Amino acid sequence: MHTNALRTVQAQIREQAAAYCESSGVPGYVAGVHHADEQIIVAHGTANVATGAPMLEDTGFLFGSVTKVLTTTLVLRQVERGLLDLDTPVVRYLPEFALSVPGAADKILVRHLISHTNGIDADLFFPDARGRDALTTYVDGLASGCGTLFEPGEQLSYSNGGMIVAGRLLEAVTGVPFPDLLQRDIYSTVGMQDSSTSAEQAILRSTAVGHFPDPETMAARPTGMFMLPETWGPAGGTPIGTVADLLAFGRTHLAGGVSPSGARVLSPASTALMQRTSHDMATPNVPPMGLGWVRYPFGDTTVLAMSGASPGGVAILCVVPGHDLVFTAFGNTSGAIMLHDRILRWLLSEHLGVRIPALITGREQDVDLTPYAGTYRSDQLRIDVSIADGGLEERTTYEPADESQERIFTRFSGGMTSAPPRRYVPIRPGLFAPAGYPVETFDGYLRLLLVSYHDVRDGQARFRNGGGRLTRRA
């Protein structure tokens, strides 16, 4: 029965991918589903428009932030070995770890790094270094250039910096460079035989590159930068692999830490700990956070997920423990996230029979907008929020710290340094939706498009949360 059901899934994904890529200018897409001991992979289109290379079932791609679940798995492995303790300050293992606010780093526990509750204000900090000392360079740079957004454990804000510090922490306690540790303890143990962390290795096999719309013709053009600097490895800058590899990793987390080949990667207790809620902001646009995993509630069903942007591409990994299902995919423009969401929702509702309730069931009238207007900032990012036509208007500006970081950021974003103004309509106090979207858009993964405001004091919100990231009132 399952084989026929998965054939239906395969046909459905092929159809959806072809239609979406055609209508939205995505050159290529590859996706895989594992369910109840059966597995399918679908590839469509072109991996690189410059060469015309086709997207194949075994074409490699950058994992992007999906890597954060791999990094967290590595941290839990060292906890099991007794080399790390989740409730010990990071500086105990990494004495050189410091931030620009004196004493701030001393309060950050190992747990805070992998639960995105560390408050490190470094989400766009892109130091350019490579080789064995890349992560050391990153951590050294935090001390002079990056402060904090909040007290550790107080809030939840998606943290690239926290994961990179975790990567350096792993190097310190194991004595092994992060790429080698990933290869030894994850790729080899899980059976991710086509995964690597270098463009030099990726070039030896079929590998997709990201694309951006050409400003004049809007046709997809290849990215000018394949991957982020090696300083971003543990947050998702460098790991590359295939759909089959990510399915194997997802299956390991479904099976209590045992890989498809039978090797134990994590204990059942550590696997369960990663999946358990560690922090909940209690707002629809920020799903509860486990360790590494984001916990997306779809009614009574929880989807453990992480998506990953790379220059001109986006990957996703979803694990549904209650239904023994793994879904992973990559599309080589950032707009492919819409297709990821569409397929995930189809798998849940049509294939698994999960009822997906509406996330937003109504809009309150006469919401007081004054607490939210103002300027909010985080590392190299400024968001000006003003009241306009019964809603909010946001202007986002990138404020580069130096020429090197500006070069990396603009290549990562396809040349964009400021976004056109965005309009948001109130749903209720503290929660806003981008104007022009039907409310059902937000029932799935795209709930991240909603914006929330938090910690209102003396009539002013202290924090804005967009895409899971906090900015603080200036």
Tell me the residue type at 200.
E
Query: Quick one: pLDDT at residue 1?
Result: 45
Query: Quick one: pLDDT at residue 299?
Result: 93
Q: Where are the beta strands (DSSP E) in 92-139?
A: none
Query: Quick one: pLDDT at residue 2?
Result: 58
Cβ(439)–Cβ(433) under 8 Å?
yes
Query: Quick one: pLDDT at residue 106?
Result: 98
User: How much is the CA Rg of the chain, to the nearest whole Å?
Assistant: 21
Cα–Cα distance for residue pair 173/179, rounded to 1 Å? 15
Q: Which residues pair with 472 in a beta bridge?
A: 377, 463
Closest CA to 72 of 231, 240, 289, 264: 289
3-state secondary structure of 94: coil
Query: Quick one: pLDDT at residue 218?
Result: 82
pTM over 0.85: yes
Cα–Cα distance for residue pair 50/137, rounded to 1 Å? 34
3-state secondary structure of 236: coil
Query: Quick one: pLDDT at residue 49?
Result: 97
Query: Quick one: pLDDT at residue 324?
Result: 96
Torsion of the alpha carbons at 133, 124, 271 and 87, rounded to the nearest 10: 80
* Low-confidence residues in the chain, pLDDT < 50: 1
- How far is CA 4 from each of CA 7, 11, 74, 134, 251, rounded to the nearest angstrom? 5, 11, 37, 48, 21
Instruction: Enumerate the H helices of 210-310 as residue ranges.
Output: 243-254, 268-275
Pick the CATH number of 1-357 from 3.30.70.260, 3.30.450.20, 1.10.760.10, 3.40.710.10: 3.40.710.10
Task: Return all residues near 309 (Cβ < 8 A) that are at least 6 apart.
Answer: 64, 65, 236, 334
Query: Quick one: pLDDT at residue 415?
Result: 79
Cα–Cα distance for residue pair 405/76, rounded to 1 Å? 32
CATH 3.40.710.10 residue ranges of the chain are 1-357
